[in-house]
Each structure stands twice: as C-alpha cells, then as structure tokens.
C-alpha cells in the first residue's frame, strides 16, 4: 500500500495557526488573572479596606493611647487592634516581634496605657508583663475614731470590716509610736492611723492598706519638732494624745494652736482638762444628748486629771503641729461662740461663765 504525500501548506497558513495559538493562550491567561483580580477585589471589599490592618497612615508618635485587649484574643487580633490605634505601624511587624521572642502564648488581656508608634518589641514586653494593677483612691478624714476608720475603709476598699480588724489584731500591722500590749485590742490602735487621701492597687491586702496609714502617721508625727514638749518630761505618744484632743474639739485651723495653749496651761497648773470630747469618747457616742460628765472612765477628763490614756481620734497634721507648738496665751477656758465653730476664750472662770451665758443667749448652747 502506498500513501500519497500531503501537499505542503502555504507559509501564510502556518503563520495564522501560530498566531491563533498564541492569542488563545493570552486570552486564557487574561481570564485567569482578571478573574483572580476580580475575586480578590470582591473578597477585599467584603473584609474591608486593606489599610485597616495597617493602622493610621499619619500619626504623631508618643501620643497616649489606652488599649483594651479582650480575653481570648489571638496574636493577629492584638496586632490588628494595635495597628488600628496607631500603637504600631502594622499588625505584621507586631506579629514578627511576638514570634521573635516566642510570646504568642504569654500575651495577657487587659487595659494598657501605651503610646503611638512604639517599638513593637516594647509593646510585646508590656503585653507579656500584663496590665498595670488598677488603683483606687481612699480618703480618711481627720478626727475619726479607729472603728470609724475601719468602717470607712470597708466602704472604700474591697475588704470587710472584719478583714481589716483582724489585720490590726494579729500583728500584721506595726507602729513605732507605742508598744502594743500582748492582748492587743482595737482601741490600742486609736490615733495611730493617719487621715489622708491614699491610692492603693487592687493587689494591696488589708494589712498593706492599714500599714500604709500607720507608717504615714509615724512619718507625720516624727516630722514635728517635739523638743519643747519633751522638755516638759512628756513623750511623743502623749503629744499624739494631746493632738487628738485638739482635733476632736476644734473645727477651725486657726484656733488649733489657741486650744492647744489652753490644754498646755491647764496641764502646767495641774487642772483637770474638762474636755467634752473625752466624755463622749468614754461613752462611745458622738451624740451630745448622751453627755454625762459623771461617767466613770479613765477618759473622762472632768473626773481624771491629766491626759487620757490613749488618743481619742486620728489627728491631722495641723493638730499635731498645734500640740507641739501651742500659741502663747493666758487662756484656761474656751466655749463654742457661734455655729461656724469659732470659740470664745477666757483667762478667768468669771469671764468663761459670761461667755457661756452669751453662747446660750445666742442659741449656740442649749
């Protein structure tokens, strides 16, 4: 069997075939690339603009930023939060910094105070260390008794009154201002906790809170010059007792040194102090309707000469300074003169009785 040879195609026909093949390949490539581009745009539009994961384009470095990292956030989640808020330039650079120190499992949720455009490594270190402990503010006002201070702290801290009481009684809190008896009672802590405004972290326990108040009272008392008082044969602790009397009796700061002078003058003459606040303390009340100057107690300065055995309240700095440095006056008596808290002072009993009569006439006293 023989075959007839196939006639040779003209050259122009072969060229057309090659061009067709090339065109087909090009069209297929265009469709693939174009389709992928369209798909990418569609997915991108669904997910949001790509700039969102890169953070702000223009941001000033060093601006404070508060960041909240929700519990369960992945490294990618955190990177996106940081970039969106301008803490880092991109989520990717944060993720790289995390991988560099293998910190993915050590990043902690919480609230962070950061700044814009930080070093990613520094951000990672912050998130590994965890958020700074939250702090809260506590204010203890002057003139409170120790039980009232514990009640106030229980209202302002995470701790119950009983938790705070135990901390004072079990030796967890200490003071250098007096030697505590073996069987310590709450009243032994009277006047030893300084009234002020404090900040505590959530990690501070009851003993930490109370030790701060006790240590602050030590510092305030020791910062006062007690040399003139000690020259009288008195102790610094007795000065603290005197300061508590001033605190409990006086409302106006300018009168504190004058009332202190009355107490000093009476002590020098061996007179009873006759201070109403000591009687109310002995009666464990603040209600003047219950006042009883015949109540038998070592705190009743109408019956017992000299200072009470302990402070009767927590004095502030002004009362401490007034106790150590009284005004120089001839006064031995004082009585409330008006409802603003001002007192009338007298050198003699007759003058004092006249001041008392005037106060009654003015409706200041019953």
Report domain extents, the chain. 58-129, 135-221, 225-329
User: Percent of the chain, pLDDT > 90?
Assistant: 78
By three-state DSSP, how is residue 344 classified?
Answer: strand
Q: Does domain 58-129 have CATH number 3.40.630.30?
A: no
Residue 1 has pLDDT above 60, yes or no: no
Stretch 177-186: mean pLDDT: 94
By three-state DSSP, how is residue 211 classified?
Answer: helix
Using 50, 70 and 90 to split pLDDT, how confident is the model at 93? Answer: very high
pLDDT of residue 57: 52
Backbone angles phi, psi at 343, to 5 degrees: -110, 155
Return the biggest CA–CA distance within the chain. Answer: 161
d(CA 120, CA 92): 10
pLDDT of 258-277, one tens digit each? 999 999 999 999 999 999 99
Assess contact for 238 and 308: CB atoms under 8 A: no
By three-state DSSP, how is residue 177 classified?
Answer: coil
pLDDT of 145-157, one tens digit each? 999 999 999 999 9
Length, in residues, of the chain: 366
pTM of the model: 0.70
Instruction: Return the sign of the alpha-carbon dihedral for residues 24, 29, 30, 35.
Output: positive
Stretch 137-143: mean pLDDT: 97
Element (H, E) at 125: helix 120-129
pLDDT of 58-90, one tens digit each? 788 889 999 999 999 999 999 999 999 999 999
């Amino acid at each position: 069997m023989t075959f007839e040879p196939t006639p040779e195609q003209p050259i122009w026909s072969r060229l057309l075939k090659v061009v067709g093949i090339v065109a087909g390949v090009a069209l297929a490539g265009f469709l693939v690339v174009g389709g992928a581009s369209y798909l990418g745009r569609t997915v991108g539009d669904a997910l949001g603009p790509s700039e969102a994961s890169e953070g702000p384009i223009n941001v000033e470095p060093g601006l404070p930023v508060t960041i909240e990292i929700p519990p369960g956030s992945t490294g990618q989640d955190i990177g996106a939060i940081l970039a969106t808020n301008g803490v880092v330039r991109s989520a990717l650079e944060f993720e790289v910094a995390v991988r560099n120190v293998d910190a993915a499992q050590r990043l902690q949720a919480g609230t962070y105070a950061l700044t814009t455009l930080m070093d990613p490594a520094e951000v990672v270190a912050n998130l590994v260390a965890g958020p700074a402990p939250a702090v809260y503010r506590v204010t203890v006002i002057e003139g409170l008794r120790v039980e009232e201070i514990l009640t106030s702290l229980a209202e302002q801290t995470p701790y119950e009154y009983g938790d705070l009481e135990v901390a004072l009684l079990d030796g967890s809190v200490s003071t250098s201002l007096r030697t505590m008896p073996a069987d310590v009672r709450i009243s032994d802590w009277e006047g030893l906790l300084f009234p002020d405004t404090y900040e505590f972290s959530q990690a501070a326990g009851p003993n930490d809170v109370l030790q701060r108040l006790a240590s602050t009272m030590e510092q305030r008392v020791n910062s006062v010059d007690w040399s003139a008082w000690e020259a009288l044969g008195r102790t610094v602790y007795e000065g603290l007792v005197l300061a508590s009397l001033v605190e409990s009796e006086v409302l106006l700061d300018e009168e504190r040194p004058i009332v202190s002078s009355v107490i000093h003058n009476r002590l020098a003459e061996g007179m009873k102090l006759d201070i109403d606040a000591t009687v109310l303390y002995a009666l464990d009340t603040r209600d003047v309707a219950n006042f009883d100057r015949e109540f038998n107690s070592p705190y009743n300065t109408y019956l017992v000469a000299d200072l009470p055995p302990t402070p009767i309240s927590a004095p502030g700095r002004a009362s401490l300074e007034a106790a150590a440095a009284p005004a120089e006056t001839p006064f031995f008596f004082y009585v409330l003169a008006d409802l603003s808290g001002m007192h009338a002072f007298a050198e003699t009993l007759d003058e004092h009785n006249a001041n008392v009569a005037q106060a009654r006439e003015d409706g200041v006293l019953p």
